[in-house]
Amino acid sequence: MKPLPALALLLACVVAALAAAHVLTLVALAAVGLTLALSASRKRARLYLIGIGISSIALFAVWPLTAHIGSHPLWNGPIVPVIGSIDVTREELVAGAIQALRLAVVGLAFAVWALRTDQDKLVREARFARRSVLTVALATRLVPTLERDASGLVEALRGRGIAVGGVRGRARLLTPLIAGSLERALTLAEAMEARGYGRPIANRGARARLGWNERAALAVSLLLVAGSLLWL
Amino acid sequence: MALARIDRLSFRYPDACSPALEQVSLELEPGEFVLVLGSSGAGKSTLLRALAGLVPHFHGGHFAGSVTVAGRDTRSSSPAELAGTVASIFQDPEDQIVFAAVANEVVFGVENLGLDSREAALRALAALRSVGAEPLYAREAADLSGGELQRVCLASALALEPELLLCDEPTSQLDPEGAASFLHLVARLARERGLAVVLSEQRPALPLELCDRVLFLERGRLVLDATRDEAVSWLSRNAPSFVETPSRLSTNSTPGELVCSLENVSYAYRSDAPVLENVSLDLRRGEIVALAGLNGSGKTTLAKLACGLLETDTGRVERDGEASYLSQDPGRYVVCERALEEVALAIDGDRARAARYLAEVGLAGYESRHPRDLSSGERERLALAAVLATEPDLLVLDEPTRGVDPARKAELRTFLHERSADRATLLVTHDTAFADAVADRVVRLESGGLVPGLDRDARKEEEALLA
């Protein structure tokens, strides 16, 4: 699929995930997203799914502690300044689960976008906001690079006899990993500028016409947005 | 009229204490193949960046003097504007690739010049053909070897049809065959197309044979600008490590007990493409074994199996004692905020020992520097110190001379040789001169199997004959 209809579908999924009122709608969207992500490449999808899983569980865990709704308390905690009473109600747990599901759907939509669209096409066919499009495309490609850098860092540490385990051990690698990515990004930016990127007369490949499936994707995107706002 | 002219150029990077270039003046003519030599941090890369306009536009800093390329002053023309005239190839091909598909990658620069898609595609194909990489047109960049990627980078540069080609240590990641083929190609392009080529290198033997002119930089100053023959004679007097083949260090000890034994080892990353098949290798205390082979022949895999970073599919690996592994990428040794902490990380924070090893690799005084502030050659040495400090029984070094200047290589050679009695050393390298000089035994990986080279006895016989 071409990047434009794929982008429309991505945005429609995000809008639907945030606007849908019914849990079944969210479950259906999550199921479709998960199926599409796993059908791309299980190995590549693994990293995205781990990230989506961790952030959704974290949101589910934090939500009841910060929300103050419901009349069926399950646990009464202390009173914390600014936040107030730390208690957990059944309604807060349900709301937390729904918010976590929304986040998972948004994450899955981005994962499917990253895994199944041709980023090269996106950059070459973009007619507006090219710099932003290129940034998004390069950032998307950064995910597997980050994974490779992370395993390289762990390997180099193991090669010196340092075991890297547990959340704390891995969290320690976060700063060098991000610093390394920024350094790599600078080198790439330098190489791109040396190849003329940023000249105002730049030309990009001719844009091909949309096929029937891409027109259908655009129509589905519109229906999904309208449906999620009005009925779902 | 000169194609490029540098007039009294001085440049200092932002926050740097000393200038990277100082009062450099030179001219470049069309069709010249110019080799830039100098130790790590001498200013070679900065000189190339100045010719591309990346200094000062991309890096900022204090710029004095002028650089003119094809009549355009780089102070008023941005690197992007100079792109049709100048093209650059950097050290690491992976860091230059923008697109996933090779075809898109080569077309990228041409489209930036404003050519229409059809003409851009034709130029891309012609450029790939000129570097013998036409079959790569439909491939994905992620599936290419280091040598193939560097050819794609060269094609991307040539597709711009530049008048000046700048190559910053472009062969540092290539095997000797790949490097020779790349350098011959560049020399041919300079001759046939009238393309001026400026190339910096840390393995100068072959480029010295092919170039027309040599520049030598020392702490930012241009101390030599001469024809090849004059330069060779100047280098042999003033910087002999750049022209002399390193002398073989004598085998001074009898191998001791077995430290690591790999027996009929096989390994595959993908079940349909085995990397190693039935490879056997013994590593004994007191000997240095060099492992050679083409890019992608499985050298790094074998090294990782030897030190336990990978588990074999079949076969057996037995180790007696601790093993340490130096990765090819020095960027993986920047976990801490200071160089001293980085080296002390694996030795329970023993700062005294860490400082000693920093001094051993020539980084005394760098203890409180951030590893990311070091040059690539300095980072390579920091990584080496971090691994050496663990004082292992089996030391595995994967390309330890990449980006290291000849003088530092000589120091490393002596260091490894002097300490060889304490441990078994496995040296994975493309640097054949370095391997020949320091190793007791050179083995070569070909098509997944090991081809033994000269062993210790044969080498001793040869040494006796030579004597």
DSSP B131-161: TT-GGGTTSBGGGS-HHHHHHHHHHHHHTT-
pLDDT recorded at residue A128: 61
Q: Which of B232, B327, B314 is nearest to B268 (CA)?
A: B314
* Selected residue with higher pLDDT from B79 and A77: B79
Percent of chain A having pLDDT more than 90? Answer: 11
User: Would you say residue A43 has pLDDT above 80?
Assistant: no
pLDDT recorded at residue B328: 84
User: Would you say residue A140 has pLDDT above 70?
Assistant: no
| Structural domain contains residue A206 | no
- Among A176-185, A196-205, B452-461, name the one with the lowest average pLDDT: B452-461
Q: How confident is the model at residue B343 (pLDDT cuts 50, 70, 90)?
A: very high
Average pLDDT for A169-196:
85
For an interface test with A, the pick among B198, B327, B345, B353 (most A C-beta atoms closer than 10 Å) comes out as B327
Q: Which of B95, B98, B100, B238 is nearest to B172 (CA)?
A: B95
Chain-wide mean pLDDT for chain A?
81
Q: What is A197-220 written as a DSSP string?
A: TT-TT---PPPPPP-HHHHHHHHH
Q: Encode pLDDT of B130-159 as tens digits.
A: 888 888 888 888 778 777 888 899 899 999
Contact of A158 with chain B, judged by CB distance below 8 Å, is answered with: yes
Helix, strand, coil content of chain B in percent (nearest 5): 40, 25, 35
Q: Which of B219, B282, B261 is nearest to B39 (CA)?
A: B219
Q: What is the ipTM of this complex?
A: 0.81
Q: Which residues of A touch B109 (CB under 8 A)?
A: 195-196
Least CB-CB distance to A162: which of B107, B304, B345? B345
Please name the helix (run of DSSP H) or strand (run of DSSP E) that holds residue B56, with its range, or none: helix B54-57
For an interface test with B, the pick among A118, A142, A149, A160 (most B C-beta atoms closer than 10 Å) comes out as A160
Percent of chain B having pLDDT more than 70? Answer: 95
pLDDT recorded at residue B372: 87
Q: Which of B391, B18, B444 is nearest to B220 (CA)?
A: B18
Average pLDDT for B73-83:
93
Percent of chain A having pLDDT more than 70? Answer: 85
Q: How confident is the model at residue B293 (pLDDT cuts 50, 70, 90)?
A: confident
Helix, strand, coil content of chain A in percent (nearest 5): 75, 5, 20
* Selected residue with higher pLDDT from B454 and B56: B56
Ordered domains of chain B (ranges, CATH) = 4-242 (3.40.50.300), 258-322+392-466 (3.40.50.300)
User: Would you say residue A209 has pLDDT above 80?
Assistant: no
Question: Residue B395 in contact with residue B324, Cβ under 8 Å?
Answer: yes
Least CB-CB distance to B156: which of A156, A188, A195? A195
Please state, in angstroms and as integers, the Cα–Cα distance from residue B154 to each residue in A62, A153, B34, B144, B159, following that order.
52, 30, 17, 14, 9
Least CB-CB distance to B98: which of A153, A192, A202? A192
Question: Residue B295 in contact with residue B344, Cβ under 8 Å?
Answer: no
pLDDT recorded at residue B13: 92
| Structural domain contains residue A100 | yes
Are A194 and B107 inside 8 Å of each other by CB? Answer: no
Question: Residue B30 in contact with residue B163, Cβ under 8 Å?
Answer: yes
The CA-based dihedral angle spanning residues A90, A96, A102, A105, taken in that order and rounded to the nearest 10 degrees: -100
| Residue of chain A minimizing CA distance to B109 | A195
Question: Residue B194 in contact with residue B179, Cβ under 8 Å?
Answer: no
Q: Encode pLDDT of B212-231 as tens digits.
A: 999 999 999 999 999 999 99
This prediction's pTM: 0.79
Give CA angle at B157 (A137, B102), nearest 5°.
45
Pairwise CA distance, residues B184 & B191, whole Å: 11
pLDDT recorded at residue B430: 86
Question: Residue B449 in contact with residue B310, Cβ under 8 Å?
Answer: no
Are B92 and A188 inside 8 Å of each other by CB? Answer: no
Q: In the A/B pair of chains, how many CB contacts fall below 8 A? A: 141
pLDDT recorded at residue B466: 52
Q: Encode pLDDT of B14-24 as tens digits.
A: 988 889 999 99
| Structural domain contains residue A25 | yes
- Quote the radius of gyration of chain B (alpha carbons, Å): 23
Instruction: Locate B155 and state its tokens.
Output: 């094609």
Are B324 and A195 inside 8 Å of each other by CB? Answer: no
Residue B298: φ, ψ to 5°: 105, 15
pLDDT recorded at residue A201: 59
Cα atoms in the Cβ-side hemisphere of radius 13 Å centred on B55:
26
Q: How confident is the model at residue B175 (pLDDT cuts 50, 70, 90)?
A: confident
Give the residue numbers spanning the domain of A170: 3-198+212-230
Contact of B13 with chain A, judged by CB distance below 8 Å, is answered with: no
pLDDT recorded at residue B202: 87
User: Would you say residue B278 has pLDDT above 80?
Assistant: yes
Are B120 and A203 inside 8 Å of each other by CB? Answer: yes
Chain-wide mean pLDDT for chain B?
89
Pairwise CA distance, residues A172 & A164, whole Å: 9
Please state, in angstroms and as integers, the Cα–Cα distance from residue A110 to each residue in A7, A13, B192, B429, following that order.
10, 9, 49, 42
pLDDT recorded at residue B231: 96
Q: Which of B66, B68, B3, B16 is nearest to B43 (CA)?
A: B16
pLDDT recorded at residue B250: 64
Total count of domains within chain A: 1
Query: Looking at the DSSP assignment, which residues form a beta bridge with residue B326?
Result: B397
Are A155 and B309 inside 8 Å of each other by CB? Answer: yes
Q: Encode pLDDT of B384-411 as tens digits.
A: 999 999 999 999 999 888 878 888 888 8
pLDDT recorded at residue B458: 60
Give CA angle at B108 (B107, B109), nearest 5°.
100
Question: Residue B302 in contact with residue B291, Cβ under 8 Å?
Answer: yes
- Among A175-179, B244-248, B316-320, name the one with the lowest average pLDDT: B244-248
Question: Residue A124 in contact with residue B104, Cβ under 8 Å?
Answer: yes
- Which of A198-202, B48-52, B450-454 has the largest mean confidence? B48-52
Pairwise CA distance, residues B191 & B33, whole Å: 8
Helix axes B146-158, B176-193, angle to 10 degrees: 10
pLDDT recorded at residue A86: 77
Contact of A183 with chain B, judged by CB distance below 8 Å, is answered with: yes
Instruction: Locate B249 and state its tokens.
Output: 């260090």
- Please, what's the b/e burial string for B351-364 (b: 16 or more CB within 10 A of its CB; e: otherwise)? eebbbebbebbbbe
Q: Which of A35, A40, A14 is nearest to A115 (CA)?
A: A40
Q: Encode pLDDT of A26-35 as tens digits.
A: 898 899 888 8
Q: How confident is the model at residue B465 (pLDDT cuts 50, 70, 90)?
A: low
pLDDT recorded at residue B461: 62
| Structural domain contains residue A205 | no
Contact of B263 with chain A, judged by CB distance below 8 Å, is answered with: no
Residue with tokens 């041409």: B110
Identity of the residue numbered B320: D
